[in-house]
Structure 1
């Protein structure tokens, strides 16, 4: 007989993961009590089944005090008076916050948790995320530690969500971006900030409604023939203007930089964002968008030529599915990753879902 899991069942694995990950921090933030955690998770879970004008509720909430210092919370916007953290109130407020960028801020210190505003991030605080009915994840910043889906509990590493897939696909470039920068800490994580640009691109493609595919390869292999023979690029480009701008911008956070915080660094980041904003539109052309992990644009209108005898793909829990269960975009992504294991493919469907395809030890694996 199947035994279903519920929000309260997430508490024990969350506490184990939370303090294990916090072990190297000098002052790890304490979690709320078990009863308060259960209340927060159950409210979020029930909110996931609400809808406003047929629009499903999606949100991220960060549990933090409104008394946090400016260095600990990113651009808070306060609501006066605060609202109760209930499924109905979440449903009403969620459309005001793009879940990919903005979080609801929740004060859990009183008897009744209160939504006191919005923010772009809060340093190392507990986050609760809902992206689909019955799908709940908890963690810190954008890192999921424990997830509930289909009545099952997934701990970190067992269920790699889309944003975690983006972080992993860009890990090498993220390390290179911050090489030599002495970051003193703040309201967000370097490991989250850089991949967030790609996640923004994917979220915009989803909002445009036409669907699209983004193929990502390591920048160090941009001249390699190993992937070039697998694709046909209809509109070839060679634009690497984003990387030097982002590389310049991170030095605004270098504690040893004489010009730390200077406007020129912020200008570089703003210009990089504007360049990245043009990428989603390129996926409206038939074919995929091809990027490197340093946001170098190699082309669009890309057709995957790779031919592999691939009959099944795998999910993170080890179960398999027939490739025939998926459409053209997904099957092209499967073939690309099967033939080029170092690549990643992100598929945005017209129904609004975003999926990631990776090659794990020879197994083409799909992450949602």
Structure 2
């Protein structure tokens, strides 16, 4: 069984993390302040307001922050809106304010006064842009307010982020500080890259048909990023339903009972369209930047505006396809994709359960043999056992299971072992690498 932790452990870990920072603009708060901050949110998470669970984010924000801290002049940057007078930082105030401070709208600005008392000083606006970035619905990374942010993510569950790094989660007295990026590294990442071959070939064909003088290898990271981001977004939306759910990526259907058969290819097609229009826009933008002829620039600029509009439409189409598919998780049973990410059906059940006696939990992205932890299947419920059974019988299949409490696990077979990863990354917490400029060439057709 996992080791039980306390809020004191969480506060100590965050305090040490802040203390090690080389770019600290705030003075290090006393550890007791952090313990009170987290403990109050922890107890607030066990309440409800108007029959709904509490959702709120707190920014540890100094209301006297100097103007010089503002790094950008972006019009969408957050503002601090003070209350007429500070409110006490307690469970009652948090529960009451949570209805007016949904994490998609704002954060509570909390800091300590000269008497070492925590106060709610006001609100931080423009939170929708932070949430859009974290949920992979935007590539624009806005500034974040304060030294760090802590959110209620469920009953007795908190998460702490700082500069888009997920520092820790605390769920039902389990402190997690390591998060596995299995969609980017390791066996599951390699399987996904192999399954994306048809998608990659489609993009190659597009590049060739438009006479783009580019090397497809330069774009392989972008191709795999869109697959990873799309799968992450589906998992995020399934988790947000708080119902639990699962999806399976497999070319095999033997042993599956599909209650609701569909043939939905729009997810794949919208990803392809988005990538094509992204390439097209960047190519035209690059040519505009080097042209000296004003008239030719204007012609290309009009072409660029059309491309940007098409790209935006593709982003919206993909968003709709993701939410359409994620909603199918609310029906009992898993969602089934083929290797091209075409949805084949939902409400799917594994009929023949031939599960291994043991599974092996990976403690790193790659599933290093010496670091595997053997676990009995009896520790897991029916949804997990079904996914384990199918993936064990069908090498090359990838399964994801979202528990009702929000935990996400990934499964695949490696050699003779069924490997499980948990505490996996889905939100875009880590800082993105700068995008690469496309070589100069003009769009001929799309």
Task: State whether residues 170 and 195 of structure 1, in contact with CA within 8 Å, keep that contact through their aligned partners in structure 2.
Answer: no
Name the residue aligned to 2:400. 345
1:237 aligns with 2:263: yes
Q: What per-residue deviation string (whole Å, max 9, x for no partner) do you get for residues 42-88 of structure 1? A: 33233223332454323344445787566779675875637645432
Match of 1:214 among 233, 237, 247: 247
Give the number of equivalent residue pairs.
336
Task: State whether residues 205 and 348 of structure 1, in contact with CA within 8 Å, keep that contact through their aligned partners in structure 2.
Answer: no
Task: State whether residues 61 and 109 of structure 2, in contact with CA within 8 Å, keep that contact through their aligned partners in structure 1.
Answer: yes
Task: State whether residues 146 and 155 of structure 1, in contact with CA within 8 Å, keep that contact through their aligned partners in structure 2.
Answer: yes
CA 1:264/1:345 → structure 2, altered by over 3 Å: closer, same or farther? same
Once the two structures are superposed, the pairs formed by residues 272-351 of structure 1 within 5 Å of their partners are 272-283=318-329, 287-291=333-337, 296-305=342-351, 307-311=353-357, 318=373, 320=375, 322-323=377-378, 326-327=381-382, 329-339=383-393, 340=395, 343-347=398-402, 349=404
Q: CA deviation at 1:19?
A: 8.3
Considering only CA atoms, is the larger Rg found in Structure 1 or Structure 2? 2
CA 1:201/1:3 → structure 2, altered by over 3 Å: closer, same or farther? closer
CA 1:182/1:276 → structure 2, altered by over 3 Å: closer, same or farther? closer
CA 1:281/1:95 → structure 2, altered by over 3 Å: closer, same or farther? same
Once the two structures are superposed, the pairs formed by residues 1-368 of structure 1 within 5 Å of their partners are 5-14=5-14, 28=23, 30=25, 33-35=28-30, 36-53=33-50, 55-63=52-60, 68=70, 76=78, 81=83, 84=87, 85-95=89-99, 104-106=107-109, 108=111, 112-118=119-125, 119-120=127-128, 121=130, 122-123=142-143, 126-140=148-162, 143-157=165-179, 180=219, 194=230, 197-203=233-239, 205-206=241-242, 212-215=245-248, 217=249, 224=251, 227-229=252-254, 231-233=256-258, 235-239=261-265, 240-248=268-276, 259=304, 262-283=308-329, 287-291=333-337, 296-305=342-351, 307-311=353-357, 318=373, 320=375, 322-323=377-378, 326-327=381-382, 329-339=383-393, 340=395, 343-347=398-402, 349=404, 355-359=408-412, 362-365=417-420, 367=422
Q: CA deviation at 1:116?
A: 0.9
Distance 2:406 2:83 in 1: 35
List alignment gaps of at least 5 residues for structure 1: 184-188
How does the TM-score come out when normalised to structure 2?
Answer: 0.56
- Higher RCO by CA contacts (8 Å cutoff, separation 6 or greater): 2
Distance 2:174 2:81 in 1: 35
Task: State whether residues 246 and 399 of structure 2, in contact with CA within 8 Å, keep that contact through their aligned partners in structure 1.
Answer: no
How does the TM-score come out when normalised to structure 1?
Answer: 0.66
Q: What per-residue deviation string (whole Å, max 9, x for no partner) do you get for residues 321-352 of structure 1? A: 5537623x333223233334651222455xx7
Distance 2:62 2:278 in 1: 28
List alignment gaps of at least 5 residues for structure 2: 131-141, 204-216, 289-303, 364-372, 424-446
Which range moved further: 276-285 or 78-87? 78-87
Distance 2:282 2:108 in 1: 28
Q: What per-residue deviation string (whole Å, max 9, x for no partner) do you get for residues 14-60 of structure 1? A: 4665688x88xxxx564652325444333323322333245432334
